[in-house]
Amino acid sequence: GKRCKGIQIFRPFVYGTTAKLFDPTTNPKPEGTPDDHTHSWTVFVKGVDDTDITYWCRKVQFKLHESIPNPLRMIENTTPGTPFQVHETGWGEFEITIKLYYVPESYEKPQTFYHHLRLHPYGVTEAEKEAMRISPQIISWVYEEQLFNEPFESFYELLTSP
Ligand code: SLL
């Protein structure tokens, strides 16, 4: 195939973590969770407002801390419009390596991002404290735009067909 010369296409997405402290009323600890685990958390990659991204993003690998069983998690075949995500429990913060794999039509190499799993509310504003009192979770989300530079013609069609 041929590349579309001079064309750049951006596709927005969101990635990040959401964590919740275990609490008997708001977030009870599931049976069998190790005693030292203090939080449940999720790391995800998804479309903005849960729009589908599976037409350009084929799968996502999350590399967790090596203290966690099976730290390499490959997530694929999600229903379009639902996040690529991993749920876990634990006690500590660490850097998560997120690797995006693109659809084969793109001929793009996988791309790596790094994201800090945030469990503790530091540096929060009064407004954020109030929001956390109502819905106690620690959110660390990043908005990103995936750039496809001079995409192949067949991939360009995939990207731009409704
Ligand atoms: C560090 N920040 O760099 C620490 C590591 C690791 C967190 C934190 C284990 C969970 C499990 C867990 O929460 N690890 O046992 O499944 O040394």
Q: Which residues are CB-neighbours of 126 under 8 A, at least 6 positions away?
A: none
From 22, 38, 73, 94, the mutation candidate for ligand 1 (largest count of ligand atoms within 8 A of CB) is: 94
Give the predicted TM-score (pTM) of the model: 0.92
Alpha-helical runs (H) found in 78-143 = 126-134
Q: Which of 20, 41, 42, 65 to mutate to test the pocket of ligand 1 (most atoms within 8 A of CB)?
A: 65
Complex ipTM value: 0.92
- 112-153 pLDDT, tens digit per residue, is 999 999 998 877 788 877 877 777 899 999 999 999 999 999
N-term to C-term CA, the chain? 21
Residue 66 DSSP SS3: coil
- Residue 14 to residue 2: CA distance in whole angstroms: 30
- Which residues contact ligand 1 via a Cβ below 6 A? 65, 67-68, 90-94
Q: How far does residue 74's CA lie from ligand 1's centre (Å)?
A: 20
pLDDT tens for 20-59 read: 999 998 899 999 999 999 999 999 999 999 999 999 999 9
User: Residues, the chain, total?
Assistant: 162
